[in-house]
């Protein structure tokens, strides 16, 4: 029964419901008469990811229209295979008739399913009506050959595999595009100094291009995982009730799969094993985690205390209803939030692997939701990340300013090695380096404009007995840390998507 939500008093209410996949309607009967209710859209699409986070190309893959179109093609191909095989009684002419006349509408299937409570039977019944519409009364009905020797999972699982490959292809293109952007921008900032941070604390100098480079490599790994997952998913099965081909020749399976670009499953029970789907969902989840990691870096870089980079802030954009000065990383935050959905959905896929005996249906409803939602959300995330990273606003002057905010503490590792090179033990060198560093830290913590780290060392007799001014000049040059940085960029140059 629809739940009462109150009247949609404005267009905004109606739009919000529509974006969420629902529509408002007046209740005319029963106890709820005179109230407003809300129902899920069901014509042409299943209840899935809200429209706000759905890009059209990916959305079309998960619409019922596309699913039933694939079902139709599988049934027609199976008839053509049976006709070519010549064992079941169907002629080539009948197979051609079926191809020419097979059709459906989502609305008709919905109406039939209200009676059958079985979506495959509703579909084949609907399609039979179109196939036999022009057949004379009393003549043999060509539709009798549709679904011959098949079980519901032969149709549903093979079609789902095809849908998954369609969706994988979009994600693969997304990965390639974003990876190329990251690679290009890495070389753009190959020589832009910034401070590296570990545990959120200033560590050593690096270049900003290395950030983009690391993201490019992460996306290359995502591409490899996604391509492997697609290969595992591109599998079909038309083998009958428990996978024994009891009423259908394996030729039909081979024929249909070849036409769809799928590989016949070497042994199916009644269903394709759900570890295949779990691998796809795992690849989606790890990819979402990669995007989350990148988006989180943008959020950290955009903090007011850092502000070395920020996501684009477009003309007319508003940052806060209360604080007009705000430029919030809302897109990066949205990506991080949606990543949680994709990661959580992977657990559903893992739970779907264990089914009773040769099959049960416990996986079906769950995967209808999580597969579509995860693909749709991840595709949307890629769209936002492409916009964000391609247009990422960077502030090199602020990067260099931040490099020196800790008054030279980031050179402590070079001081340590120089003292060791001068002949004292690492332990004794560490004491000299740390005692001067802690004094600088104390000044920073208390906002005291005290000596820099180099000045502290210059005032330390024990340190200066081992270090010359020339050596300090060398140590406190940030580029001295980066003499081998081109090694990683040479490797990045060879990266291909």
Please list the active-site residues: 199, 320
**Half-sphere exposure for 86 (CA within 13 Å, toward CB):** 1
Residue 488's alpha-carbon distances to 200, 207, 214, in angstroms, are: 23, 11, 10
**3-state SS, residue 314:** coil
Q: Are 93 and 145 in contact (CB under 8 A)?
A: no
Nearest partner of 102 among 73, 61, 139, judged by Cα: 73
Strands (E), 239-291: 263-264
In angstroms, the CA 4 to CA 38 distance is 7
Nearest partner of 265 among 241, 232, 230, judged by Cα: 232
Q: Are 372 and 48 in contact (CB under 8 A)?
A: yes
Q: Are 416 and 436 in contact (CB under 8 A)?
A: no
In angstroms, the CA 242 to CA 251 distance is 17
In angstroms, the CA 230 to CA 161 distance is 9
Write the Ramachandran bin of 138: left for phi over 0, alpha for psi from -120 to 50, otherwise beta: left
Nearest partner of 439 among 482, 407, 484, 395, judged by Cα: 407
Which DSSP state fits 201?
Answer: E
Give the tokens for residue 385: 């990340």
**3-state SS, residue 51:** helix
Q: Which contacts (CB < 8 Å, 24+ apart) does range 168-171 have?
A: 168/226, 168/229, 168/230, 168/233, 168/280, 169/230, 170/57, 170/58, 170/61, 170/375, 170/379, 171/226, 171/284, 171/287, 171/375, 171/378, 171/379, 171/382
Q: Are 468 and 454 in contact (CB under 8 A)?
A: no
């Amino acid at each position: 029964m629809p739940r009462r939500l109150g009247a949609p008093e404005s267009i905004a209410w109606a739009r919000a419901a529509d974006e969420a996949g629902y529509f408002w309607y007046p209740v005319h009967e029963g106890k709820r008469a005179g109230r407003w209710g809300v129902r899920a859209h069901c014509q042409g699409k299943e209840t899935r990811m809200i429209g706000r986070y759905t890009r059209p190309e990916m959305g079309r893959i998960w619409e019922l229209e596309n699913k039933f179109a694939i079902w139709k093609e599988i049934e027609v191909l199976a008839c053509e295979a049976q006709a070519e095989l010549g064992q079941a009684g169907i002629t080539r002419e009948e197979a051609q008739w079926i191809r020419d006349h097979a059709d459906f509408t989502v609305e008709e299937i919905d109406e039939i399913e209200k009676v059958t409570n079985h979506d495959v039977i509703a579909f084949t019944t609907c399609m039979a009506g179109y196939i036999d519409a022009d057949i004379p009364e009393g003549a043999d009905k060509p539709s009798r050959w549709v679904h011959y020797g098949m079980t519901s999972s032969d149709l549903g699982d093979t079609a789902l595999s095809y849908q998954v490959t369609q969706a994988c292809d979009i994600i693969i293109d997304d990965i390639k595009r974003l990876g190329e952007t990251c690679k290009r921008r890495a070389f753009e900032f190959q020589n832009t100094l910034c401070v590296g941070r570990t545990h959120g604390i200033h560590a050593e100098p690096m270049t900003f291009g290395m950030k983009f480079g690391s993201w490019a490599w992460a996306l290359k790994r995502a591409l490899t995982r996604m391509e492997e997952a697609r290969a595992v998913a591109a599998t079909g099965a038309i083998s009958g009730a428990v996978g024994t081909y009891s009423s259908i020749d394996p030729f039909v399976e081979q024929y249909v799969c070849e036409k769809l670009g799928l590989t016949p499953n070497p042994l199916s029970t009644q269903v394709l094993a759900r570890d295949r789907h779990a691998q796809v969902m795992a690849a989606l989840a790890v990819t979402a985690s990669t995007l989350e990691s990148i988006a989180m870096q943008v959020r950290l870089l955009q903090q007011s205390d850092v502000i070395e980079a920020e996501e684009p802030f477009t003309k007319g954009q508003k940052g806060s209803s209360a604080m007009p000065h705000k430029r919030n990383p809302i897109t990066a935050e949205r990506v991080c939030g949606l990543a949680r959905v994709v990661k959580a959905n992977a657990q559903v896929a893992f739970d779907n692997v264990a089914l009773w005996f040769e099959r049960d249906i416990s996986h079906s409803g769950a995967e209808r939701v999580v597969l579509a939602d995860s693909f749709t959300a991840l595709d949307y995330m890629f769209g936002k990340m492409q916009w964000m990273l391609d247009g990422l606003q960077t502030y090199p002057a602020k990067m260099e300013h931040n490099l020196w905010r800790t008054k030279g503490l980031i050179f402590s590792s070079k001081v340590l090695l120089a003292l060791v090179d001068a002949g004292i033990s690492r332990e004794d060198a560490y004491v000299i380096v740390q005692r001067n560093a802690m004094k600088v830290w104390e000044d920073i913590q208390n906002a005291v404009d005290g000596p820099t780290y180099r000045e502290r060392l210059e005032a330390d007799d024990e340190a200066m007995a081992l270090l010359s001014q020339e050596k300090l000049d060398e140590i406190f040059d940030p580029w001295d840390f980066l003499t081998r940085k081109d090694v990683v960029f040479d490797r990045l140059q060879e990266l291909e998507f």
